[in-house]
């Protein structure tokens, strides 16, 4: 059965800390892995990663996928209170674009 | 601007009533999805549609129904058969480059 597991489920840090969020996946006909940030409402897209292993970066956020270990990490450096959110990871399976979602990591950044 | 519009943002209904949640997109995406989100349970797929006039059940379709008569629209009906309808409902559409989500509808059944 396809599954995506995120860890930790919740995390509390202080502003300025660096955090690493984890996502392991077992997805049949794996195409890509997606990271989203969800604050109060709709998840917003962060990164899409494929088996190419190329690291993606956007400002203080970066992410990479290890196709051998079936694992991805999302790094956030110099965290800010605005980074507080739920971070969702999802695996894209097969040709129907259906995503397999993890439960998310709830990140709280305290001033 | 292209995007997905869900309405209403908040909805209250009495137990035993059917209710329909609206989802409209102007992104020209073929595929559309409905998810339910409960605290601590992540996103669970209710129904999805890859093309007009066709849709498939997701993981938790019981008590829900959908239609896809137009490419732009994918309404979800929460029927009285759904035992725990109070939740946050998210609609999404997708292209080869990823998903776009609506802002969600929070349904409360009293």
- pLDDT tens digits for range B40-54: 778 899 999 999 999
A53, two tokens: 């292993």
Residue A94, pLDDT > 70, answer no
In chain B, which among 40-79 make CB contacts under 8 A with chain A? Answer: 40-45, 48, 50, 58
Looking at residue A52, its pLDDT comes to 85
Bridge partner residues of B40 (DSSP): none
Q: How confident is the model at residue B65 (pLDDT cuts 50, 70, 90)?
A: very high
Collapse the DSSP code of B47 into the 3-class scheme (helix H, G, I; strand E, B; otherwise coil) and give the result.
strand
DSSP B1-59: ---EEEE-SEEEE-TT--EEEEEEE-S--SEEEEEEE-TTS-EEEEEEEEETTEEEE-T
CA proximity to A11, closest of A1, A2, A22, A25:
A22
- Is the minimum CB–CB distance between A3 and chain B shorter than 8 Å? no
A40 CA to chain B: closest CA distance, Å?
A: 9
pLDDT digits (tens, 9 = 90+) for B1-41: 679 999 999 999 988 899 999 999 999 999 999 999 998 77
B91 interaction partners in chain A (CB closer than 8 Å):
none
Of the two residues A51 and A12, the one the predictor is more confident about is A12
| Residues 6+ positions from B33 with CB-CB distance below 8 Å | A98, B45, B47, B48, B49, B58, B74, B91, B92, B93, B94, B99
User: Contact A48/B50, CB-based, under 8 Å?
Assistant: no
Q: Name the residue of chain A whose CA is nearest to B92's CA.
A: A42
Mean pLDDT of chain A: 92
- Is the minimum CB–CB distance between B106 and chain A shorter than 8 Å? no
Residue A96, pLDDT > 60, answer no
Task: Please return the burial class of B103, using the count of CB atoms within 10 Å of its CB with bins 0-12, 13-18 and 19+.
Answer: middle
A48 closest CB neighbour out of B33, B90, B98: B98
A47 CA to chain B: closest CA distance, Å?
A: 9
B25 interaction partners in chain A (CB closer than 8 Å):
none
């Amino acid at each position: 059965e396809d599954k995506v597991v995120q860890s930790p489920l919740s995390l509390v840090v202080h502003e300025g800390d660096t955090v690493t969020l984890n996502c392991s996946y077992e997805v049949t006909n794996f195409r890509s892995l997606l990271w989203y940030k969800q604050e109060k409402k709709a998840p917003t897209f962060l990164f899409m990663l494929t088996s190419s292993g190329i690291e993606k970066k956007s400002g203080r956020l970066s992410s990479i996928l290890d196709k051998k270990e079936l694992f991805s990490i999302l790094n956030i450096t110099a965290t800010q209170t605005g980074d507080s959110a739920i971070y969702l990871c999802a695996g894209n399976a097969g040709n129907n674009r259906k995503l397999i979602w993890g439960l998310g990591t709830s990140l709280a950044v305290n001033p | 601007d292209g995007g997905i519009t869900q309405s209403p943002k908040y909805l209250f209904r009495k137990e035993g009533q059917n209710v329909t949640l609206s989802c409209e997109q102007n992104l020209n995406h073929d595929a559309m999805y409905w998810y339910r989100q409960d605290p601590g349970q992540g996103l669970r797929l209710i129904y999805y549609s890859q093309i007009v006039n066709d849709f498939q059940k997701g993981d938790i379709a019981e008590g829900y129904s959908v239609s896809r008569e137009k490419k732009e629209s994918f309404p979800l009906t929460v029927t009285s058969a759904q035992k725990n309808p109070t939740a946050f409902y998210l609609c999404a559409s997708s292209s080869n480059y990823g998903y776009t989500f609506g802002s969600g509808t929070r349904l409360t059944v009293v």
